[in-house]
Amino acid sequence: MPRHSERTQSWRVGVLFSQTGVTSVIEKTQLNGTLLAIEELNSAGGVLGRQIEPVIYDPASEPYRFRDLALQLTNVDKVNVIFGCYMSSTRKAVLPVVERHNALLFYPTLYEGFEFSPNVIYTGAAPNQNSVQLAHFLMESFGKRFYFVGSNYIYPYESNRIMRDLVRQSGGEIIDERYLPLDAVEEDFESVVVDIVKNQPDVIFSTVVGQATAHFYRAYARAGLNSDMIPIASLTTNEADIREMGAEVACGHYTSAPYFEGIETEENECFVARFRARFGADEPVTSGAEAAYFQVHLFAEALKKSGDIGTEVLRNELMGGEYSAPQGRVRIDPDNGHTYLWPRIARVDANGRFVVVATTSSAVKPDPYLVSPQVNDWSLRQFKIMQTAPHMANRSKLK
């Protein structure tokens, strides 16, 4: 397999983010993050004097399209580095292809953990970098009676299994758990909302993803519910979803993620300004976009050292690789190919912006198999809740 495009002497890489289908709203932001990093590197002269040449396809939010296009990239386009995937079902579809061809998938999305492949670099959060902190925060702030609502595929089932363990360890309970199709619309959530009102949990943990997210939050608001009564907390609801559902519907709900658009550091403000200058003032910057952006820079740093895009040499340079990302300094953990990240929790304000209410003082080592972390995880000692929730005030209105 040629290790770079022989005609142009460029470094050719594959890019698989959906521009159509149920998760296109978030994946377009990941495509933007990827392209921004590639363009920045190319305008600074490329890597070792060669431009990075992205081969971009639209897998339309369908796992089988991801698999077919990964095969196209490895077999026809002769690419061995792929940036892509949002839903875990799509990563699982690409995994056998990259393993069979000894290629490298850079995956910039939070996921359920319990996976390791030498052919994947995981740059989104593992459960010990978002779920553990969120469980702790929600039980401290609201109570221990949880209701789960999710989309019907692997990530919600597995993420709920982890959250259930964390809640039960602290003596909490799961009132019910519901799964809806990925293409569920507002009316589909009505019976779930009725059940929530009937059961009155302390908090809702949502693993609904993609376009259904706005439908769920809207159905919730239309039934007269809001975050003061029972907050919705998520690992996935992001700036692009809020743009879809509107500030009024999103206001007061929570997300746990390593990155939010409004993080007040110079690094992030410059990143957001460059992102907006390139893609438009209204384009949302998400946690997925930030990971998509910094993972290209981690790849470029490794490539600079290896001088060769071959999988083995590149992976050797990637392990332990560091980069000053917009969220803070990140590092690929040589133990497991996941990334040290900065857990945060944010609450949506009345203008539809995430305001960080809890954060860490250092990056947290990824533990994809949750070997040690539990709700009493050592890293929680560094996790500071800065703003307690304006909670419970209106709970009586439900009764």
Contact residues for ligand ACM, defined by CB under 6 A: 87-88, 109-111, 155, 209, 236
Neighbours of 64 (CB within 10 A): 12
Residue with smaller CB distance to ligand ACM, 46 or 368: 368
Residue with smaller CB distance to ligand ACM, 225 or 240: 240
> Where does residue 78 fall: left (phi above 0), alpha (psi -120 to 50 degrees), or beta otherwise?
left
**Residue least distant from ligand ACM (Cβ):** 155
Tokens read off for 207: 């693993």
Per the CB < 8 A criterion, the answer to whether 84 and 92 are in contact is no
Residue with smaller CB distance to ligand ACM, 46 or 124: 124
Residue with smaller CB distance to ligand ACM, 52 or 180: 180
Least Cβ distance, residue 288 to ligand ACM (angstroms): 9
Which position has the token pair 């401290």?
A: 140
Main-chain phi, psi angles of 354, to 5 degrees? -75, 130
Measured distance CA(286)–CA(243) in Å, rounded: 11
Least Cβ distance, residue 80 to ligand ACM (angstroms): 23
Least Cβ distance, residue 154 to ligand ACM (angstroms): 7
β-pair type (120-122, 104-107): parallel
Least Cβ distance, residue 111 to ligand ACM (angstroms): 4
Least Cβ distance, residue 148 to ligand ACM (angstroms): 15
Least Cβ distance, residue 303 to ligand ACM (angstroms): 26
**Could you give the 3-state DSSP secondary structure of residue 345?**
strand
Q: Virtual CA dihedral for 135, 140, 143, 149, nearest 10 degrees?
A: -30
Q: Which of 284, 271, 196 is nearest to 244 (CA)?
A: 284
3-state secondary structure 166-212: HHHHCCCEEEEEEEECCCCCHHHHHHHHHHHHHHCCCEEEEECCCCH
Least Cβ distance, residue 88 to ligand ACM (angstroms): 4
Residue with smaller CB distance to ligand ACM, 41 or 97: 97
